[in-house]
Structure 1
Amino acid sequence: MTLYAQREKFKQVSIKIGLLFSKIPLTANQWTVLSLVPVIFAVWFLMRQDFLAAGVLFLISAFLDMVDGAVARVTNTASKYGAYLDTIMDRYIEGLIIFGLVFAVLPNWYLPVTAWIFAYFFGSFLTTYAKSAAKEKEIIREGKELKGGLLERAERLFILFIGIVLAAFNPLWLVYVLALLAVLTNFSALQRIFIARRIAKQK
């Protein structure tokens, strides 16, 4: 199946989800805020070392994050503020998960586990900020976005989700994943910085 066909298939699924959940009396923005609730409970389970429960709640949050966009599209209520709110909630969700990981009892691997966690947090923050800073400093034209970088938010959270689930069997696997994310997120940030530099030089 081609990438285009996969996108079309996902689009059809998204429409069906939007039609189903639009029957519930909640706006798209309310669905966006609701996606934060499972993550708050996931943090509690991370602190209790119940990685499987945390993973399930993480998955529920990701599904609700998809619902808000699907509902906005089928009800024709997509807005700039809705997109802004979704971005803010995305940062809260990722930040809360990282916060929970700080309090989880995980083994060290070459470096203290907190070093891997904060390196991942730093890389994740810089990847996002490199994009918004390019727009803020007008390197990117109005209405455009800085594209590029190995890992976007969706890929970061998918890899982290896999790590959390694997931690239910062996917590060291989660540490391996955090180390991988620490490297890849910072690499992605550097990629965006160099892309912005190349664009700026062309002006």
Structure 2
Amino acid sequence: MLDGAAKSIIQPTLDRIGRGLAGWGVSANHVTLVGLLIGVFAGAAIVAEQFFAAFVLILVSRALDGLDGAVARATAPSDFGGFLDIVLDFAFYGLIPLAFIIQDPQQNGIAGGLLLLSFYVNGASFLAFATIAQKRGLSTDARGVKSFYFTTGLAEASETLLVFLAFCLLPGYFAWIAIVFAILCFYTTLSRIVEARSLFADAD
């Protein structure tokens, strides 16, 4: 929901930095991999209950996630780069809730598991929608130039980032925040199913 507004604000800066990195020979895939590595460090910081450090590392990781696309646009976007980006994004999105579950399994286990389930279902609907859209030759630039059909929703990357940062600022409220966000993710999945039913339905 917030991705469009966030993109319009930060994209020009990311594009300038991306062109600079591309000029130095840095590839988009390098940026993607470093972004995930920093995300792993954020997860380790959460397990160690270093929540402020995790907060900063999550911000850096997601900044790099936006920057890899800028580098790709400044060079030559590739199908493999798009594939790697989405796979590692999903790895990051699962990593942070898992870290909170490990940090306090008794307090965070059920809510964290519910959140991971909602991510799993939401991600499946996102990728399945993109696959069928590509099969039908559909395209969209709702979130800029992407390697696949990118559907919008109530729970997108910006909302997920804000929730992860809230987890770090208010770790004692992880369970409540996770449950509310899981509901929003399930709602996003339902809305995507409704959209798919309208867009993909074959004539009887």
What is the TM-score when the length of structure 2 is the normalising length?
A: 0.81
> In structure 2, do the counterparts of structure 1 residues 25 and 100 end up closer, same or farther at CA, with 3 Å as the change threshold?
same
Identify the residue that residue 155 of structure 1 maps to in structure 2: 159
Distance 1:146 1:73 in 2: 17
Identify the residue that residue 18 of structure 2 maps to in structure 1: 18
Distance 2:34 2:70 in 1: 14
2:180 maps to 1:180? yes
Tell me which amino acid in the other structure corresponds to 2:91. Y
> How many aligned residue pairs are there?
192
Distance 2:90 2:42 in 1: 16
Residue correspondence of structure 1 range 97-112 to structure 2 within 5 A? 97-105=96-104, 108=107
> In structure 2, do the counterparts of structure 1 residues 38 and 16 end up closer, same or farther at CA, with 3 Å as the change threshold?
same
2:133 maps to 1:129? no
Distance 1:195 1:125 in 2: 19
Residue correspondence of structure 1 range 18-167 to structure 2 within 5 A? 18-74=18-74, 76-105=75-104, 108=107, 113-137=108-132, 141-144=136-139, 145=149, 147-164=151-168, 166-167=169-170
Decide which moves more: 131-140 or 81-90.
131-140
Distance 1:115 1:105 in 2: 11
What is the TM-score when the length of structure 1 is the normalising length?
A: 0.81
How far has the Cα of 1:191 moved from its partner?
1.4
Which structure 2 segments of 5+ residues have no match?
Answer: 140-148
Residues 124-158 of structure 1: CA distance to partner in whole angstroms, max 9, x if unpaired?
A: 11112112223445697234336343112332232
> In structure 2, do the counterparts of structure 1 residues 180 and 9 end up closer, same or farther at CA, with 3 Å as the change threshold?
closer
How far has the Cα of 1:14 moved from its partner?
2.0
Tell me which amino acid in the other structure corresponds to 1:101. F
Tell me which amino acid in the other structure corresponds to 2:32. T
Secondary structure at the counterpart of residue 22 of structure 1: helix
> In structure 2, do the counterparts of structure 1 residues 98 and 141 end up closer, same or farther at CA, with 3 Å as the change threshold?
same
Q: Does the aligned pair in 2 maintain the 1:135–1:142 contact within 8 Å?
A: no
Q: Greater relative contact order (Cα 8 A, min sep 6): structure 1 or 2?
A: 2
Identity in percent? 25
Tell me which amino acid in the other structure corresponds to 2:110. A
Q: Does the aligned pair in 1 maintain the 2:39–2:61 contact within 8 Å?
A: yes
Which structure 1 segments of 5+ residues have no match?
Answer: none
Distance 1:43 1:116 in 2: 17
> In structure 2, do the counterparts of structure 1 residues 15 and 98 end up closer, same or farther at CA, with 3 Å as the change threshold?
same
